[in-house]
Structure 1
Amino acid sequence: MDCIVIDWYYSGMTDAHSIPLFNLFGETTVFPDVVHCERVLDRAGLHDWVIAPHRHSQMSQVFFIEHGSAHVVLDGAEERLASGRYLYVPPQIVHGFEFTRGTEGTVLSFPSPVVSRLGPKAAALTSWLATPQRGVVTADVAQLIAALAATYTSTGTFRAQRLVALAHVLLATLAEDDLADAAFEDPQAGRQIQRLDALIAKHLTDGWAGRDYAAALHVTTGHLNRIVRMATGRSLTAHLETATMTEACRLIAFTRLPLAEVGYRLGYSDPSYFSRRFRSRMGEAPSAYRKRVVGSEL
């Protein structure tokens, strides 16, 4: 099973028009294990307790703060991660941290193929795994994190299988705690949402419309719209525009691309129309968003 780590990750990008893309922060080599576990000190201590904004294309992470705290930047928004709480970050989300010195905690990194094998599929679980989550670490979750950390440093013929199994239990437990009152969802709908979100990530800059995604999934546009609405509460059009504007926020906040170029990359040939749509969705113009999030120097 260890061989499945090969070729899961893209190399890092470092030019000013790209958001840094890492396997683990600061690393662009192949992912080192089937699951990765490290203490906050192991990584943050090497960078003066500051982890600059970056993202991962094929990896989800869980950050657990045992003692101390962290100032978190998550897709341009700021929040505080306090002691006894966790933060779950899915792929493509830009995230950065400024930890208080001496912060103790655990960082767990899960390659996307590991996360995607978590089943049986349910739309509620798929939706939960696709967006950032945060919450209180219960005693059961703390025990699971400790078991993962212990297994990570262990040896044995089936170590990789045990790591994957524990990863699945942890993620399912976090989601179940958070969605305790959620109704049962159709497993087939969950698989379709998962495939849709993968296609969106792949074709975000290709100008695909709802009908293109429906065709790729071999369903009608109306049927795909019903699946998306059931899983997210949004229409297919709103779901696609949310993904587009989320990426726009990342590019505006974390690159030096001209605003018009950001629009072009995301399929808007008319800069003024892109600006209007951004303002409509985000409540402010792209230029105002950039100034507010990163300052006037860009």
Structure 2
Amino acid sequence: MATRVPSWALLGESAPLPGFLHVESIAARAAERGWHIHTHQHPELAQFLVVSGGGGTARVAGADITFRAPYILRIAAGTVHGYAFLPDTAGHVVSIVEAVAQERGLLKPAGSGWGVAEAVVLGAAATIERLARVPGPEAVALVAACLRLLDAATDESAVRSAGRAGKEERLKALLAAQPVGPRTPAELADALAVTPGHLNRLVRQVTGMTTSQALNDARMRHAAAGLLHTTRTIAEIGQDAGFDDPAHFSRRFKAWCGAAPSEWRQGVRGKAR
């Protein structure tokens, strides 16, 4: 007699997910279960397992996947899966209503697991932690950036692709996801598995900029969106963009667009009235 696979909203819960996104640590449910999660499925939820420390074995659709940090595993909605984690494995589980995310263009239909560059995983983990603290309406930009990064990290056609087209698409995805993920030219080269010289040529071809200029431009565009669409302070927006010093952020933003963040925010909002 076949064993019935449990179906949950979130693990062990039958109530629908409030909103369309949920974030929690791996330890939140795994530690109390002895780091073993029996096979189950989430009919409506896609999940990203973002492992920044430790590892274990995942059983996905009947196949065993052994993983070590840094690692990202994507589980499509309705896929039977379970885990045997090493004790004290660190990271997060991002659960998202798959149909809603796809309708909003935040997630492509797919499902795979990949060992990826450490900078990508740690960048995703940092953003995921911020998602848990930012008010709902103001988290939209972070959600979109985080999902673009996770989607790119688990996109079979892009990850470690030897073809130029694959690397160009991966580069575009990593720049679009800024400030999540690689923040320096060296980290970006590592994420794309190319040499610094190859990266410079690739970035110049795709963006017309140097690697440093392209990374800075992507971060400033993210900051500008925060200034325009949220009420967060300039210091908070600068920190999200990777600048711990508000004065440094203001100088870099002014060099980028010709106006300090406060002046730019006031000017753009004034024109919108």
Into which bin does the TM-score normalised by the smaller protein fall? Answer: 0.5 to 0.7
Q: Report Cα offsets for 1:19-62 as digits up to 9, x if no partner.
A: 11111111111113431111111110121111000011111111
1:69 Cα deviation from its structure 2 partner: 1.2
TM-score with structure 2 setting the length: 0.52
In 2, distance between residues paired with 1:139 and 1:72? 23
In 1, distance between residues paired with 2:117 and 2:7? 28
Q: Secondary structure at the match of 2:79?
A: coil
Q: Which of 93, 97, 121 lines up with 1:107 in the alignment?
A: 93
Structure 1, gaps ≥5 residues long? 1-14, 185-298
Q: Secondary structure at the match of 1:143?
A: helix
Query: 1:148 aligns to what?
Result: 128
Query: 2:197 aligns to what?
Result: none
Name the CA shift for 1:110/1:154 in 2 (closer, same or farther; >3 Å): same
Q: Secondary structure at the match of 2:131?
A: helix
Q: Secondary structure at the match of 2:141?
A: helix
Name the CA shift for 1:21/1:95 in 2 (closer, same or farther; >3 Å): same
Number of equivalent positions: 163
Query: Does the 8 Å CA contact 1:54/1:94 hold for their aligned counterparts?
Result: yes
Q: Higher relative CO (CA 8 A, sep ≥ 6), structure 1 or 2?
A: 1
TM-score with structure 1 setting the length: 0.48
Q: Which of 22, 26, 41 lines up with 1:55 in the alignment?
A: 41
Query: 2:227 aligns to what?
Result: none
Q: Which of 141, 145, 150 lines up with 1:166 in the alignment?
A: 145
Query: 2:103 aligns to what?
Result: 117
1:77 Cα deviation from its structure 2 partner: 1.3
Query: Does the 8 Å CA contact 2:52/2:122 hold for their aligned counterparts?
Result: no
Paired letter, 1:39: S
1:63 Cα deviation from its structure 2 partner: 0.9
Query: 1:132 aligns to what?
Result: 112
Name the CA shift for 1:152/1:114 in 2 (closer, same or farther; >3 Å): farther
Paired letter, 2:123: Q
Structure 2, gaps ≥5 residues long? 167-273
Query: Does the 8 Å CA contact 1:86/1:137 hold for their aligned counterparts?
Result: no
Name the CA shift for 1:137/1:37 in 2 (closer, same or farther; >3 Å): farther
| TM alignment of 1:55-74, pairs within 5 A | 55-74=41-60
In 2, distance between residues paired with 1:118 and 1:24? 22
In 2, distance between residues paired with 1:135 and 1:118? 27
| TM alignment of 1:1-298, pairs within 5 A | 18-117=4-103, 119=105, 126=108, 129-155=109-135, 157-159=137-139, 161-174=140-153, 175=155, 177-178=158-159, 180=161, 181=163
In 2, distance between residues paired with 1:104 and 1:172? 20
1:96 Cα deviation from its structure 2 partner: 0.4
In 1, distance between residues paired with 2:113 and 2:101? 15
1:114 Cα deviation from its structure 2 partner: 3.6
| Percent of residue pairs identical | 26
Name the CA shift for 1:164/1:105 in 2 (closer, same or farther; >3 Å): closer
1:142 Cα deviation from its structure 2 partner: 2.6
